[in-house]
Amino acid sequence: MSGTLANHTRKLGAEFVAVGGDHYWPHAITFEAGVTTISYGDGITHAVSSDWKPGTPFAVFTLNGQELGVKVSRSSTGWRLRWRGIDMVYRVMSPRLFELSQFMPVKQAADTSKQLLCPMPGVITQVLVKEGDTVEAGQPLATVEAMKMENMLKAEKKALVKSIKVEAGQSLAVDEVIMEFE
């Protein structure tokens, strides 16, 4: 198996670890006559062949003699595969890289449930509430102008406006905080 980095082909070893979600599968790969044989540690093997090329969004793989049509797209450091309702991102790495990846901390998503974030780059044209106001679900809070269109931002639930971080006329980036709620 080879990978390409900045138009430089690099040969990889024959042992890999496939990682998908919270699962991983160590395996060895051999190539003979256009057929890739994947062997797992428990004795299971699969013969895989395809004429798929990276960048092509659809691939037909032959797995143990059965044809499978799979949607394929690049996803960060791995590949997103979609087939019959299964939608997973898989990464293939050397055993050493997999071993080291186990020490990487998992970044927790920030809690933005008590904030109104700007959904797109734009300019705040109106702030329709003030600090201390109680807002109801669906109530308009602010207007953002982006690409000559005005977008009304509404409350998702009943809340008390704790602070307003912007003023009318201010330019905002994506995910910039407009206001906070208690």
Query: Where in the chain is CATH 3.30.700.30?
Result: 2-101
> 40: closest CA among 53, 56, 60, 24?
24
* Residue 32 C-beta-side C-alpha neighbours within 13 Å: 5
Q: What is the pLDDT along the chain (182 residues), one digit of tens a residue?
A: 445 555 555 455 578 888 887 888 888 888 777 788 888 877 888 888 888 888 899 999 999 999 999 999 988 888 899 999 999 898 888 888 889 988 988 888 888 999 999 999 999 999 999 999 999 999 999 999 999 899 999 999 999 999 999 999 999 999 999 999 99
pLDDT given at position 2: 45
Class of domain 115-181 (CATH, top level): mainly beta
CA distance 109 to 2: 34
Query: Where in the chain is CATH 2.40.50.100?
Result: 115-181
pLDDT given at position 95: 87
pLDDT given at position 7: 57
What is 2-101's CATH topology?
Glycoprotein, Type 4 Pilin (3.30.700)
Burial class (CB in 10 A: 0-12, 13-18, 19+), 98: middle
Q: Give just the sign of the alpha carbon dihedral 59, 38, 11, 100.
A: positive
* Bridge partners, residue 82, by sequence: 71, 87
Task: Please calculate the CA angle 58-63-66 and round it to the nearest 5 degrees.
Answer: 90
pLDDT given at position 136: 96
